[in-house]
Amino acid sequence: MDARSIVNTVAEKAGLDQAVTEKVVGTIFSVLEHEAEGTAASSFFAKIPGADALAQKYDVMAAAPAGGGGFLSSLQGALGGVLGEKTGALINGVAALKASGLDMAQIQKAGATLVQQAEVAAGPELTNEVLGSVPSLKGHLGL
């Protein structure tokens, strides 16, 4: 199963627009890419073709567009700088999920469906190991 199939399944099961779902899935993959370390993360992304590209497309650590963002964006950048890349990736990822226009119930449904699909693609043990290395993300996704 590839990243496109995961996006399609999440969109269908969570009842979300395809473009919004792609952003949500890509954002979660990006947080995992920045925060999960070691061979587990590498193996996880290797088992889901296209996940790495989707994570890069929605990179939570990419610079904000010039002239945009305002106070919240400045605060996120400052916190990320003070707390380090790992925490910054999570803060930016959660902010991007909330900015996607979805409510928490929709984000949690999309997140749970994404995890189920990742377990099918990469295996439950590997998926849980990668998610376990980012426990705060699990909390935000209601897992």
pLDDT of residue 86: 54
Confidence label for 110 from pLDDT (cuts 50, 70 and 90)? very high
Enumerate the domain spans of the chain.
3-140
Q: What is the mean pLDDT of residues 9-31?
A: 95
pLDDT of residue 68: 45
CA-to-CA distance for 101 and 103, rounded, in angstroms? 7
CB proximity list for 83: less than 8 A, separation 6 or greater: 91
Q: Is pLDDT above 60 for 142?
A: yes
Q: What is the mean pLDDT of residues 92-99?
A: 89
- The answer to whether the CB of 31 falls within 8 A of the CB of 86 is no
Average pLDDT, the chain: 84
Confidence label for 24 from pLDDT (cuts 50, 70 and 90)? very high
Q: What is the pTM of this model?
A: 0.83
Architecture category of domain 3-140 in CATH: Orthogonal Bundle (1.10)
* Buried-exposed string 30-59: b where 16+ CB fall within 10 A, e elsewhere: bbbbbbbeeebbeebbebbebbbebbeebb
Percentage of the chain beyond pLDDT 70 is 83
pLDDT of residue 65: 45
Q: What is the mean pLDDT of residues 63-79?
A: 48
- The answer to whether the CB of 119 falls within 8 A of the CB of 111 is no
